[in-house]
Structures are given as structure tokens and as C-alpha cells.
Amino acid sequence: MAQFDFGGTMEEVVTRAEFPLERARAVLKEEVVAVQGPGQALNMRDNGIRVIVGQRRGGNSWERAVADGFVPGESLFSPEEAAARATVVQYLLSDAGQVALWPKIKPCLSPGKTLYFSHGFAVVYKEQTGIVPPAGIDVVLVAPKGSGRTVRTNFLDGSGINASFAVFQDATGRAREKTLALGIAIGSGYLFPTTFEREVVSDLTGERGILMGALAGVMEAQYALLRRHGHSPSEAFNETVEELTQSLIRLVGEKGMDWMFANCSTTAQRGALDWAPRFRDAVAPVFAELYERVRSGAESRRVLEANSAPDYRERLNRELAAMHDSEMWRAGAAVRSLRPENRK
């Protein structure tokens, strides 16, 4: 591991310099990796790892795997058959999906195998999920900090995506080495250590907070405010979303928030510096409540109860349709259609 200074706090990270792909291939040369997620499966296959895919026969994901070049009966099987054939089982279904399939997967986990997660949910909230890995196997985690789609697109453009890693159970004495090898094989930009519990608490907080929930909420609030005061849908959307996604967030990603502030107008700088503390203080209690609900298991219980309801998909589609059909996101579709790259 390399020591790196994160704002005055030293942390250990693993980069491709410390753990090159050639080493990952050597560590995994005798392994057969069963995967459900297409992004990780394709990245590992491209990196020379022996990969088989487990999907429900005849479903959309099965057909997609066939289109991606996986062959039924050779490299494409049902989830339980893939798990039985593999030495590393990457259990990448949704959290509710993992609960439902666990009775079929658990018998396939013979001693010496590796059970791999990209989320600590199932193991940490075992009282709710019923997922308790058997003794005699390695239980590990590599959690990319992005969606499965981003795992693949970042791999293809050469940038990779950062990921955390953890070992929950080391039965073979090789769990950590295999975890790092798998993290490099899926295309991680760098890997940083965590635990299953820290990963799931930070992940659920982030999704409900700044990454998705808070972002969607504050966008809606600002857009609605501008519209109430007579601003057009185009103006409200551009000032709320388009400028953020197409300009400012790129500056943040390039060199940080301070650099973005330094490269905006003096009027924008002054206003942002004055108002940022007020927004921080206003949302701090909401984040505190959110973190406690995640830590206590209330949020995981909510997820499992909602996802197991017989009408869940129907209700989810209604909620997403309401967002899609809102004026803000209809305005967004119009704005995106006017981008030069979409008018060729």
C-alpha cells in the first residue's frame, strides 16, 4: 500500500503501481469468477480473467449477456449453476434480490471459495436479510464508487473508478490478496480500505444525501422558486441544472471546489461564500437524522420492506414517471435536445 495525504490525514491506498494488472492476473490465474453485473464481468474478461456469468435464463439480462458474447452452457449459466462452477462468486444482485436468491446460492459455497460483494448491506444487516456466509469461505468486498454503467464506461476510456475494499472473513489466508486482485481486474482507479459496516453506512448516507436525494431535492426547490417568480422553464432549468452539470461540476471534478470558486465571477464567489454556510447549517440536522437511520438499520428495513411488496415495481414506475413528467425534467429534456451535439 502507498501512504497518501488526504487533507492532512494520512491514508493507505492501493494503486495500479503497487498492484499492477500482471500481478492481479497471476493471483487469479486458477480462479473462475461468476458474476451477475455486466460492467464488472466485461472489464474482467477484457483484462484476461476467466469469467462466467450467472443470469436468469430467458430474462433481459440473459439476452444482454448473450449479446456481450457470453455463450449459454459455456460461459453463461443460471445464477446457481454459475456459483457451483465458480471459485469466486460475485454476488451483485440488488439487495432484495440477494435475499431472495440466497437459499439457492448458499449451498454452492463450498469451503475454499470466495464470496464477493460490492455492497456491505446483506452481511451487515444480516438480522433483516438472513444472509450469513458459511464458515470455510473467504468473504470480501470491492465497492466501486459509481454505478455499474460507470464502472464500464470509465474502464473503456482508461480512467477507471475508485473503489473501497474490505475482508470480512479470511478462511484461506489469501483473502486480502484476492480482493486487491479483483479490485484491479474490474478496473479500479485506486482502492482504499474500509469495513463492510463503514461501506454500507457511508453508501446509504451518500445515496440518500448529496449524491441523489439531496441533489434532487434542492434542484426541485430552486427550480420551483424561480418559476413562482416568473422565470421561464428554460431559464429556471439552466440556472438550476444545466450550468451545474455542463460547466461548474466539471471544474470541481478537475481541480476541486476552491478552484471552481476561483474561476467564477467575483459576484458568484462572494455570494457562494456567504450562502454556503447557511445551507450547510440548514441541512446538518437532516444529515444527522439520515445517518442515524442508516446506522440503526431503519433505512435498510425500509428498503427490504418496500422492495418485497408485490406491487413494488408498479409503485416505483409511478414515482419515476412523476419525476419524468414534472415540468423541471420535461424542460430538461428540451434543453438537452438543444445541445449542439444532439442537433447534428
Q: Which amino acid is at 309?
A: A
CB atoms within 10 A of CB 263: 13
Rounded distance, CA 330 to CA 297, Å?
Answer: 36
pLDDT tens, position by position, 37-86: 889 999 999 999 999 999 998 889 999 999 999 999 999 999 999 999 99
User: Is residue 278 scored above 90 in pLDDT?
Assistant: yes
- Provide the pLDDT for residue 121: 95
What number of CA atoms fall less than 13 Å from residue 215's CA on the CB side? 11
- Provide the pLDDT for residue 344: 66
Buried/exposed code over 175-189 (b: 16+ C-beta within 10 A; e: otherwise): bebbbbbbbbbbbbb
Rounded distance, CA 66 to CA 70, Å?
Answer: 5
List beta partners, residue 138: 114
Percent of the chain with pLDDT over 90: 84
pLDDT tens, position by position, 191-228: 999 999 999 999 999 999 999 999 999 999 999 999 99
pTM of the model: 0.89
Mean pLDDT of all residues in 279-291: 97
- Provide the pLDDT for residue 36: 86
**Domains present along the chain, CATH in parentheses:** 2-194 (3.40.50.720), 206-342 (1.10.1040.10)
344 or 85, which is more confident: 85
Q: For residues 78 and 54, is the Cβ–Cβ distance under 8 A? A: yes
Per-residue 3-state assignment (H helix, E strand, C coil) for 172-199: CCCHHHHHHHHHHHCCEEEEEECCHHHH
- Provide the pLDDT for residue 326: 97
Rounded distance, CA 249 to CA 145, Å?
Answer: 17
**C-alpha 54, offset from chain centre:** 20
Mean pLDDT of all residues in 229-249: 95
pLDDT tens, position by position, 130-179: 999 999 999 999 999 988 888 999 999 988 889 999 999 999 999 999 99
Helices within the chain (DSSP H only): 21-27, 38-46, 60-67, 79-85, 95-105, 121-124, 126-129, 148-156, 175-185, 196-208, 213-228, 233-237, 243, 249-255, 257-262, 266-296, 298-308, 312-325, 327-337
In angstroms, the Cα distances linking 135 to 25, 49, 166 are 27, 26, 17
Q: For residues 265 and 278, is the Cβ–Cβ distance under 8 A? A: no
Confidence class of residue 241 from pLDDT cuts 50, 70 and 90?
very high
335 or 342, which is more confident: 335
Task: Enter the C-alpha cell of residue 37.
Answer: 453485473
Task: Enter the C-alpha cell of residue 275.
Answer: 450562502
Write down the residue that cell numbers 461548474 correspond to: 248
- Provide the pLDDT for residue 297: 95
Write down the residue that cell numbers 449479446 correspond to: 67
Catalytic residue among 119, 229, 231, 324: 119
User: Is residue 10 scored above 90 in pLDDT?
Assistant: no
User: Is residue 11 scored above 90 in pLDDT?
Assistant: no
Of 121, 113, 175, 127, nearest in space to 143 by CA:
121
- Provide the pLDDT for residue 149: 86
Of 171, 114, 101, 104, nearest in space to 142 by CA:
114
User: Is residue 2 scored above 80 in pLDDT?
Assistant: no
Mean pLDDT of all residues in 312-329: 96
Mean pLDDT of all residues in 109-125: 96
- Provide the pLDDT for residue 8: 83
User: Is residue 3 scored above 90 in pLDDT?
Assistant: no
Mean pLDDT of all residues in 104-114: 97
User: Is residue 343 scored above 80 in pLDDT?
Assistant: no
Annotated catalytic residue 231? no
